[in-house]
Structure 1
Amino acid sequence: MERKAALKAVVGETAGTGPAWFAAKRFGYGAGMPIAWQGWAALAAWLGCLAGAGGLAQIGGAAGKTVAFALFVISTAIFAAIAARRTEGGWKWRWGKDA
C-alpha cells in the first residue's frame, strides 16, 4: 500500500505545486512531452518567442541581434524553469524502468 501512495503522490503532484504539465522522460534528464493544455500553451509561447527572436535578428541590424539573443536566453530560461517545476516527479536522471 505504501508504494501505491508514493506513486500517486508522484503522478498527482509535481516537484513544484499543482498538477503536472509535462510527462517525465523515460530515458535521460528533463521534461518530456506536454500532457496538459497549460504545457502546450507554454511550449507554444516559447516557440513564438523563438520565432520572434529569429525574425528580429533578420531585420533588426546589430541592435536587433542583441535584443533577439537576449529574448532567446530569457525565454529559454523561463520555459526551462516552468518545465522543471511542472514535470511529473521533477527533473532527474531516468534509466527507463523507473520512469
Structure 2
Amino acid sequence: MPSKYPSYKKIWFPAKRYGLGWGLPVAWQGWVVLVGYLILLLAGMVWLFFKQNAIYYMVYVFAITAVLITICFIKGERLR
C-alpha cells in the first residue's frame, strides 16, 4: 500500500484530524520513541515517586514530555 506522505519527509507521527496534537506513530521509529517514553515514565515513577519526592517526579515527567513533544514537532506532520 503506497504511503500518502512524500518519501523525502517520512513522518513518524501524523497530525490529528480533530483537535490539537499528533496521533499514534506511523513508522517504527515513532513506536520506538513512544515505547521509550513510556518506559522512562514508569522507571521514573518507581525511582523518583516512590523513593524520592513527588516534586522531583513531576519535574522529571515535565522534562521527558518536553523531549517527546520536541521530537513530535521535528518528525511529525505539521499541525493544522
- Could you state the TM-score of these two structures normalised by the residue count of structure 1? 0.65
The residue type equivalent to 1:29 in the other structure is L
**1:68 deviation in Å?**
2.3
Matched, 1:80 2:74: no
Q: How many percent identity over aligned positions?
A: 29
Corresponding position of 1:22 = 13
Could you say which structure has the higher strand fraction?
Answer: 1
Structure 2, gaps ≥5 residues long: none
CA distance in 1, matches of 2:52, 2:31: 32
Please state how far the C-alpha of 1:18 moved relative to its aligned partner: 3.9
CA distance in 2, matches of 1:73, 1:87: 20
Number of aligned residues: 76
- Which amino acid in the other structure matches residue 79 of structure 2? W
Provide the TM-score with structure 2 as the length reference. 0.79
1:1-99 correspondence runs (5 A): 11-12=5-6, 18-56=9-47, 57-58=49-50, 60-62=51-53, 65-88=54-77, 90-92=78-80
Greater radius of gyration (CA): 1
Q: Which runs of 4+ in 1 moved over 2 A?
A: 65-70
Long gaps (5+) in structure 1: 1-7, 93-99
Q: 1:87 deviation in Å?
A: 1.7
